[in-house]
Each structure stands twice: as structure tokens, then as C-alpha cells.
Amino acid sequence: MGGIWIDLIKLAASAIAILAVAGLVRWMGLGADVRIRNADHARFLASQAADGFEAVDVALDRAGIGALLRDAAGRQMLLRRHGAMWVGRLLDDRVEARLDRDFLTIGTGEQTFGKITLHLGDAAQVWAAGLRRLPASGVAHG
């Protein structure tokens, strides 16, 4: 009979530990479905990715998985999710872009950054055209 109580105590302790870890994960925001909420959120993320980048034009992916942004100087940035974080890259002539109707697939030429396909709707064609006019890599912007 004593063995049953020990097993029940172990089971209860395990359940409490699992609930505590689940609560900690939730409190820390881990495992959440991270999306770009709106243009202001994209602007904030871009300013964090590149100090001084102030977007004046934003194209959001319809699912919130990425964005293209342009600042007043004409610099363009690609934002994408990397795990639960966001990363951004200023784009130059090394960009690889492929337009397929409302979808724009973009690579930075940086293998570790990868490629992303953004659903931009009607804006996809406009942004694809803008990517063809990017400055050469290493050229100062401004």
C-alpha cells in the first residue's frame, strides 16, 4: 500500500513540474506564432535591424511572415522571421528576385539568410521593379 502512495506522489510532482515549465514557456512568449502585425510593427523591426533606418514605404506579406521596406534615401530592406526573432537585411544588386503574379521570392545573395516568398498582392510588381534598381554592393547610400 505504501508503494502506491509513493508512486502517486511522484506522479503529482511530475505533473506539477510539467505545468511549471509550460507556464514559464508561456510567460516568456516562447513557441508563439510570431507575425508582423502591421506597417508600424514592420517599421519598428526595421529600425531595430539597421540603426537609423526609417521606412517611408512598407509592403507586408499577407500572412505576416515578412516585409519589404524603403526609406527616404531609397534603401530597401527585407525583413523575415528567424525562429522567434526577426532579421533584416539592406538589399543591394546581389538580390535575387522572382515575380510570380502576387508573389515575390527574394534572396539577398547571402546563403545564411536564405530566400523568402512574400505574398504582396498588387504591390508585388511595383516592388519587383524597384529591386531591379538597387545600388551595387559596397556603394554608400544616402
Number of structural domains found in the chain: 2
β-bridge partners, 105: 98, 117
**Quick one: 24 and 44 in the same domain?**
no
- Whole-angstrom CA distances from 38 to 45, 60, 61, 123 are 11, 8, 10, 16
Cell numbers for 5, please give them. Answer: 502512495
Mean pLDDT value across residues 87-115: 91
**Could you report the per-residue pLDDT of 14-63, keeping only the tens digit for each?**
999 999 998 888 787 676 678 999 999 999 999 999 988 999 999 999 99
**Quick one: 27 and 85 in the same domain?**
no
Mean pLDDT value across residues 82-100: 90
For residue 61, the 8-state DSSP code is -
**Quick one: 92 and 107 in the same domain?**
yes
**Quick one: 7 and 56 in the same domain?**
no
Residue-range definition of the domain harbouring residue 7: 1-32
**Quick one: 14 and 44 in the same domain?**
no
Residue 18 belongs to some domain of the structure: yes
For residues 28 and 68, what is the distance between their CA atoms, to the nearest angstrom?
Answer: 28
pTM score of the predicted model: 0.73
For residues 86 and 26, what is the distance between their CA atoms, to the nearest angstrom?
Answer: 19
**Quick one: 118 and 53 in the same domain?**
yes
**Quick one: 18 and 77 in the same domain?**
no
For residues 117 and 84, what is the distance between their CA atoms, to the nearest angstrom?
Answer: 18
The phi and psi torsions of 33 (rounded to 5 degrees) equal -80, 100
The phi and psi torsions of 110 (rounded to 5 degrees) equal -100, 110
**Quick one: 63 and 90 in the same domain?**
yes
**Quick one: 10 and 45 in the same domain?**
no
Mean pLDDT value across residues 100-116: 91
Sign of CA dihedral 73, 75, 56, 126: positive
**Quick one: 26 and 49 in the same domain?**
no
**Could you report the per-residue pLDDT of 64-74, keeping only the tens digit for each?**
999 999 999 99
pLDDT at 141 over 50: no
90: nearest Cα among 128, 40, 41, 140: 140
